[in-house]
Amino acid sequence: MAMNEIAANMRLQKRLCHNAPFYVLGPIVTDIAPGYDHITSAIGGAIAAANGANFLCYVTPAEHLRLPDTDDVKEGIIAAKIAAHAADISRGIPGARDADNEMSLARHNLDWGKMFELAIDPDKAKRYYDSTPPSERHTCSMCGKMCAVRTTNMILEGKKVTFCSEK
C-alpha cells in the first residue's frame, strides 16, 4: 500500500468498525525489497499506528523468502517496536517521549553507557561502538575529533575549540 493511502484507509477502517481496536500486518509500502520487508512494513506500520492502528504485527526480513530464523524474528520485532514507538510519540501518548528526551541528554553529555542503556537494542549499539573505537576520547569513530557534540559542548563551556587530542 502506498504511503499516501495508509492514513485514509486507517480512518475508514476505524469508522466502519466503530473504533474497535485494530491491528495491521505492515502494510509494506513497496514490494521491491525482499530481504528488507521488516523495514518496508515498519514504515507502513508507523504511519498506520500514527493514524489509529492499535497493534502492529511484526514482519521479518525473511518475509516471502523462507521460514524466519531467530535473528530474523529479532530484527522483525525490533523494527515493529521502533515503528510503534515512533507512532506513540506522534500521537502524544503520555510518557512516550521520555526515553527520547533522556537519550538526547545522554547524547549531549556524550554518556555512552546511558545511551546503550536507553537503546532499543543495547547489544547491537554497543557492539557497533566497540567494533571501531574512536581515536578521540568521548566521541565516536564517525567524526572523531570533529564531533559536533564535543565541539558544541566546548563552545557552550566557553572553551577554545581545538581539534587536537583532549587529555
Interface residues toward ligand SF4, by CB under 6 A? 139-140, 142-143, 147-149
Indicate the residue among 140 and 154 with the shorter CB distance to ligand SF4.
140
Give me the least distance between CB of 127 and ligand SF4, in Å please. 16
Cβ neighbours of 54 (radius 10 Å):
14
Residue placing its CB nearer to ligand SF4 in the complex, 88 or 117: 117
Cell 546503550 belongs to 116
Least separation in angstroms between residue 143's CB and ligand SF4 is 3
Q: Given the complex with ligand SF4, which of 65 and 148 has the nearer CB atom?
A: 148
Look at strands 55-57 and 23-25 and give their pairing. Answer: parallel
Please, which residue, 65 or 155, has the CB nearer to ligand SF4? 155
CB of 110 to ligand SF4, least distance (A): 7
Please report how close the Cβ of residue 118 comes to ligand SF4 at its closest, in angstroms: 15
Give helix then strand counts, H and E, for the chain: 7, 2
- Residue 131 to residue 126: CA distance in whole angstroms: 8
User: Strands, DSSP E only, in the chain?
Assistant: 23-25, 55-57
CB of 54 to ligand SF4, least distance (A): 35
The CA-based dihedral angle spanning residues 130, 104, 89, 95, taken in that order and rounded to the nearest 10 degrees = 110
Nearer Cβ to ligand SF4, position 59 or 147?
147
C-alpha cell at 127: 557492539
